[in-house]
């Protein structure tokens, strides 16, 4: 069983010049970025949509514009020193972002975030769930708890969609959902 010991699969492998474990060191960060770059799947570049042209006007759709989900739960979780949302990323580019849409998502996420349970409330739910036998009710409570940790995708008002279309050369749509081990997404509206 020793070959399956968890510590053998931790990111804390010796990368230091002196053999030390240096998780989150510059070398680890560079390795992670290189692995991410090599593992990316790009969209089919029909009609040369990419790269975006300098000065291009874009509209960002999706709650990840502001509430970006960097990973899942359990082994899908990612620990990192910082997180940038989609808007933050586009602020660094030479494009013009349609701000009324960004403001809509920022206001929505801020307003709806008050409904996200506290860590204390989540822990109380996990105590109940972990004491239950495996059953549909347990699955539902687990799903509902994870789903409650993020705001739902909002409906964008038609007038805002119309004004974004008038402004933008390109629309970028993000889908941002949380998932975890044993908590797959469900075929229900908004999920």
> Do 99 and 176 fall within a single domain?
yes
Structure confidence by residue, pLDDT tens digits, 81-130: 778 899 999 999 999 999 999 999 999 999 999 998 888 998 898 888 88
Following DSSP, what letter does each residue of 49-76 receive, concatenated?
Answer: --SPPTT-EEEEESGGGTS-----SGGG
So what's the pLDDT on residue 88?
Answer: 94
So what's the pLDDT on residue 9?
Answer: 44
Crossing angle for the helix pair 158-167 and 99-112, nearest 10 degrees?
150
Question: Does residue 128 form part of some domain?
Answer: no
> Do 34 and 61 fall within a single domain?
no
How many domains does the chain contain in total?
2
Question: Does residue 121 form part of some domain?
Answer: no
Crossing angle for the helix pair 119-131 and 136-147, nearest 10 degrees?
170
> Do 28 and 65 fall within a single domain?
no
What six digits make up the tokens of 5?
Answer: 């010991």
Structure confidence by residue, pLDDT tens digits, 37-70: 887 777 788 888 888 999 999 999 999 999 988 7
So what's the pLDDT on residue 77?
Answer: 73
What is the value of pTM for the model shown?
0.72
> Do 161 and 100 fall within a single domain?
yes
Q: How would residue 137 be classed by pLDDT, with cut points 50, 70 and 90? A: confident
> Do 5 and 61 fall within a single domain?
no
- Local structure of 104: helix, strand or coil: helix
Give the domain range for residue 17: 1-41
> Do 25 and 79 fall within a single domain?
no
């Amino acid at each position: 069983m020793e070959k399956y010991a968890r510590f053998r699969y931790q990111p804390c492998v010796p990368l230091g010049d002196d053999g030390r474990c240096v998780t989150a060191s510059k070398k680890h960060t560079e390795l992670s970025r290189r692995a991410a770059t090599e593992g990316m799947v790009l969209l089919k570049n029909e009609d040369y949509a990419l790269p975006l042209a300098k000065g291009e006007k874009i509209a960002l759709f999706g709650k990840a514009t502001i509430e970006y989900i960097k990973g899942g739960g359990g082994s899908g979780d990612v620990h990192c020193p910082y997180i940038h949302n989609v808007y933050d990323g586009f602020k660094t580019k030479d494009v013009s972002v349609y701000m009324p849409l960004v403001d809509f998502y920022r206001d929505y996420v801020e307003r709806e975030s008050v409904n996200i349970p506290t860590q204390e409330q989540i822990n109380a739910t996990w105590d109940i769930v972990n004491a239950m036998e495996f059953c549909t009710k347990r699955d539902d409570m687990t799903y509902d708890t994870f789903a409650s940790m993020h705001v739902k995708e909002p409906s964008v008002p038609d007038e805002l969609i119309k004004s974004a279309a008038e402004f933008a050369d390109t629309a970028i749509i993000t889908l941002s959902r949380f998932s975890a081990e044993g908590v797959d997404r469900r075929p229900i509206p908004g999920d």
